[in-house]
Structure formats: structure tokens, C-alpha cells
Amino acid sequence: MESSSLPFGKKFSPTTKKYREFHRKSITDTEGFWDREARRLEWFRPWDKVLEWEPPFARWFVGGLLNASYLCVDRHVKTWRRSKVALYWEDEAGNARTWSYSQLYAEVNRFASVLRKLNVRKGDRVAMYMPLIPELPITMLATARIGAIHTVVFSGFSAQALADRINSTQAKVLVTADGGFRRGKLIPLKEKADVAIERTPSVESAVVVNRANIDIDMKDGRDFWYHEQLKKAESYVEPLPIESNDPLYILYTSGTTGKPKGIVHSTGGYMVFNHSAYKWAFDIRDESVYWCTADIGWVTGHSSIVYAPLSHAATLVLYEGTPDYPNPDRWWEIIDKYGVTIFYTSPTAIRMLMRYGEEWPKKHSLSSLETLGTVGEPINPEAWSWYYKNIGKERCPIVDTWWQTETGGFMISPAPGIELVPLKPGSATLPLPGIDAEVVDEKGKPVLSGVKGHLVIKKPWPGMLMTLYQDPKRYKEAYWSRFPGVFYTGDYAIRDTDGYLWLLGRADEVLKVAGHRIGTMELESAAVSYPAVSEAAAIGKPHEVKGESIVVFAILRKGHEPTDKLKKELREHVRKVIGPVATPQEIYFVNSLPKTRSGKIMRRVLKSVLMGKSIGDLSTLEDEASVKEVKKAYEELKKLVKAGS
């Protein structure tokens, strides 16, 4: 793309020189750099030391005291921003609510008082299982206000997944809603929460938001209505000064084992990093209207709906609904209605909307838009160009932000808040300030430009996870042992001759289905928990819209016949165990699976079968497996896949 001018003062820089110089300085004196960035926030007590680095454990802004809820609400109500819109919320049916910063402040305080009355103290865990309603960020901020730790569980997850996460954190209180809506359908959240609570002895009380106005069971002494408790609550709760390294939240994400990882984020480092990275990437200003379409149950929602935007007193749009319901222009309608200036979504959503055709966005002006963003998975140049042309009308830069639950905030992204470098469709461009990224080979040596390798981060950064909840050993192993001394992201990347990074997807056994992160091992354990299945292998198959779709190969126990009915039941079972995001698209019943001698399933062979590719050179596998057996399994699978059985 040519370097060109954009409205609203954003111009592509022809040289990238200013940006590169800024970045170079930031990683030369990293601590000095973050020390200056941290001063953008309001602290109750300054830090004694910027960084204590005992690899691989980092403590940022040691001794500093702050409060995330204070930064997101109190700080703003002391200024003219008290009357500024904090949230525009809307649902599928068009019901809408608006919250000013003072209203948000008032409710956060009241709910903090509710939590206190429920005996929640500093360091206690509060779990949330809620639809995309304002009460969710309010609950998160109220939890942070009293120094408790929140753990939000995506409302699309099953009762069992919720129970597992609650049991892992030993949460005292669960905040949920009677129900939520998706494509006009009611999702009975409280019913699912009740199933979970039966399995989670740590939960003393549940607070329920009346979202759907439906009849639900309320257990006396355990369950409380949110609105009734608010009425009885105090109107002010002092924000507790929190040491920078006290955790703000735990968020579970998939890794390469069957057990999700509890990512622990700090308060100080996390807030500093997100506040700065958000400004760089989105150049947020007082007049911006910002809409991130993610669910708050994922890290994107935590950092890019709640903490970073609210710390900037941004005006947010929250929409509880899917992109194409009731019509494929629902999102474009919302952009015009609220005058959205910054729109941040996923490549899957773009590809899906692209399929409906350009006539849908053409019905709307979309003239308020200034900046577009994407996150969660690699964006293919075709989707990038469609987005750029049909939504941004060739005048809005696309900020492709690469990051992870673990990184806490944006790591690689264009930074129009500093200097907008020329964009290349499909590349997240350059590392953000303070981020020292490298692409290395299997041995950890930097690769030449144009060569695919592993993306690693060479220096700690304030947004990085502190550890895995109650599992520092796994933290070390998962992120710091593959390449000693550097953070292993699990992603493949290429750096081109301009230094631009192209993210190429996961190098490990983690899938990205419609941007949702799902571990193959989690899928496999869900599949084998079905009584008829003795062994299973899950792999990702490229999917035109979702990026990847789930394919399961399963071996049946003796006495079970591979029928369509069984296939359907297995699909339902996996869906029930994990949640609808984990629904397998294809299932194959097989007699054997290609394995290494140590019993590891050879996904590469399964992938070749699915993709209709040849088995490839097996000579390198000789140490690992019996070539003959693998070939046999391959031929068998090929026949099955061909027959579509």
C-alpha cells in the first residue's frame, strides 16, 4: 500500500524513522522507559524499584500502591468526565442503556460494599459467569476495589468448565445472571451456575443479576439478587491501596495439557502496560467512541474493554450479540448509531461478514470511523483488504494487534498514537515500545529475515503474567524452558526485510477456532470421557471463516459400532463438557492412530491425511515410530476421510 494521508491528523509516516528511534530507546533503557510510563497513572504511593527480575519471575514497580478501580472510575469523577458517557450498552433486540462515569462510579462502589458484606476480603477470589452486560465490568471493578481477585469464566463455557475454574481458584462468591441471550435464544446461565455450585464447595454465596426476567431457583441464604443487594449497600467504599504485585485477576486459558492454565496478572505492571499500549495502538482521545466486539470472558475483554479503555476514561460501546443477528448489518448499524470512531474485532468476524457481501455495510455511512483493529488470529490479506475498503473506506488504518492472555496487553502492533508506520495487509508490523521481540530457530538462534521461526520475547515487560496460579513450576516449563532465558510465545513468525513481523499461528498443540483458544488435549480428554471412546486425537483443520475447525479422530471401545448416531452423541458430549466453542466439526472413528514409540500422537500425519497431502518423508521419524505402522494408519485414515465416514 502507498503511504498516504488519513483524516483526523493520522498520517502514515513515509519512513518509520521516528517510531523505530522511539522503540530503540525504549528497549535500550527499558527500566527507565517503564519508570516514565508508570507516572501516567495515579499512585497512592510511588514504587521503590521499577523491576525486580529473578528469572523467570518479575516484580514490577515494587512497593508502589495503587488501585485499578480507582484508576478506572474515581480518577475520572474528579473531573468534567463525571458526566462523560462511560458505556453505551445494547442488546440484540435493541434495548439500550447508557452509563456516565458517575453512574459507573456509584455502582462500582455499591457493589464493592455488597461484596464486603458477603465477607469478601483482600486476596479472596470472586468468580463471574455473566453475559456481556454492564454489571460484568462493574463486578470486576468492585472486586478490584477491595483488593479481591476476579476470575471471569466465559459464559459460553459449560457448567463443568465453570466448576473446574471455581475449584481451582477456590472462589468464595460467584456472580452470575438469570440468563443471557444469543441469536434470540435464551441461555439459562443460573441453571448452569447451579449445576456448577453443586460441585464447588468453596462458593458461599451467589449474586444474580436479573438480566432475562425469567423464573429461576434462588437458594435461601446462598443466592442473592444483585439489584436487591445494591439497594441495601453503602454508597462509598474506599479503594484499597494495593501493592503493585498483588494479583488483579486470574484468567484461565488453554495450553498444551488437558488442564487449563490459570494466568495470574498483577495490578501495577498490568495497569501501566495496558494504559500505555492502548494509547499507542488506538491513540484514544476524549472524543473517541470505542467498540471492541470481544467477550469480556477473554483477555481481550479484560484488557481492551475494561482496564485499558476505562483507565483512559474512554466512551465504550458494549453489544450483547453476534455480528449477523438479526441481520448481517447489525454491527454497521451500531457503528452509525453511536458514532463509533475506533472499531476492534476479530478476523473471523470480518471473514464472516465479508461472506454476506458488501451490500450490507453499504447501507450505512460508517463515516465516524477513524481506526480499525483486529486481534486473536492471523488476518489473511484478503480479509484485511475487504475490511480496509468496505468498512474503513480506505481512510482508516488497520491496527493488527498481536498479543496473548499471557502478555496481558498488545505486544506487536502499529502504533498510530506514536507514529503510524505504513501498513502491510497481514502483518502486525513492529513490536511496541518496551517489547524486545525476536524470531529464532529450533535452537534459539535468531533466524534471517524471511525465515519462519519461533517468536520469543527477550526482556520482561510490565504486562507479563506473574505466574500460573499455584503452579510456578508449570509457568517455568511452559514459557521459559523451551528457549532458556527468553519468553516462549508458542507462535510462529517471520520477520521481513523491513523488520515487520508476520504472525503465522501456533507452533504448539493449541487451536484457534473463531479466535477462541482451545487446547487439543482438552478436547481429547473431553472425547475420551465419553464412555464409548477409548482414545482420541483432536487436530485443527484450516477453515475459511473460523481460521481453524476441530476434527476428532476417535477409537471406539470394544462392543461399540461406529454409527452416525454415536458420532452425533460424541459431538454433543464434547460440546457439553467444554462448551459450544469446542464443538467438533468432523469426527472420524478409526481403528488406530499414528503414534511415536513413546505413545505421542503424530498430528502431522493426521493433518496430512485431512489436507489430502501425501504422508511426506518419514525417514526423519524412524527414531520416533515404526514407519510401517504409521503408513498403515495413514492409509486407513485416508480411506475413511475420503469416504467421509
Torsional sign, CA 527, 532, 536, 540:
negative
By CB under 6 A, residue 511 contacts ligand PRX: no
Binding track, positions 57-96, relative to ligand PRX; x by CB under 6 A: ----------------------------------------
Q: Candidates 82-90, 136-144, 174-182, 296-304 — which segment interacts with ligand PRX by CB under 6 A?
A: 296-304
By CB under 6 A, residue 370 contacts ligand PRX: no
By CB under 6 A, residue 428 contacts ligand PRX: yes
Nearer Cβ to ligand PRX, position 69 or 348?
Answer: 348
Residue from 59, 517, 546, 573 in contact with ligand PRX (CB under 6 A): 517
Nearest to 588 by CA among 544, 631, 539: 539
- C-alpha–C-alpha distance, residues 604 and 616, integer Å: 9
Nearer Cβ to ligand PRX, position 253 or 315?
Answer: 253
Residue from 90, 243, 370, 491 in contact with ligand PRX (CB under 6 A): 491
Q: What's the closest the beta carbon of residue 541 comes to ligand PRX, in angstroms?
A: 16
Residue by residue, DSSP assigns 333-385 as HHHHHHT-SEEEE-HHHHHHHHHH-THHHHTS--TT--EEEEESSPPPHHHHH
Q: What's the closest the beta carbon of residue 298 comes to ligand PRX, in angstroms?
A: 6
Q: Candidates 227-235, 269-277, 295-303, 466-474 — which segment interacts with ligand PRX by CB under 6 A?
A: 295-303
Binding to ligand PRX in span 374-403, by CB under 6 A = 375-378, 400-403
Q: Which residues are registered as beta bridge partners of 589?
A: 554
Nearer Cβ to ligand PRX, position 378 or 433?
Answer: 378
Nearest to 314 by CA among 334, 285, 342: 285
φ and ψ at residue 435, rounded to 5 degrees: -105, 115
**CA distance to 109, 600, 622, per residue, from 73 (Å):** 10, 51, 61
- C-alpha–C-alpha distance, residues 31 and 50, integer Å: 6
* Residue whose beta carbon is closest to ligand PRX: 405
By CB under 6 A, residue 342 contacts ligand PRX: no
Nearer Cβ to ligand PRX, position 224 or 402?
Answer: 402
Strands (E), 130-177: 149-152, 173-177
3-class state of residue 285 by DSSP: coil
Residue from 158, 160, 300, 467 in contact with ligand PRX (CB under 6 A): 300
The site for ligand PRX, by CB under 6 A, has a size of 23
Q: Candidates 191-199, 370-378, 435-443, 523-531 — which segment interacts with ligand PRX by CB under 6 A?
A: 370-378
- C-alpha–C-alpha distance, residues 398 and 413, integer Å: 10
Nearer Cβ to ligand PRX, position 138 or 294?
Answer: 294
Nearer Cβ to ligand PRX, position 50 or 299?
Answer: 299
Degrees, nearest 5: CA angle 85-87-88: 100
Binding to ligand PRX in span 235-294, by CB under 6 A = 253
Give the cell for residue 404. Answer: 496473548
By CB under 6 A, residue 490 contacts ligand PRX: yes
Give the cell for residue 556. Answer: 471406539
The H-assigned helical ranges of 15-67 are 17-28, 30-38
- Residues engaged in binding ligand PRX (CB under 6 A): 253, 298-300, 375-378, 400-405, 428, 489-491, 503, 505-506, 512, 517
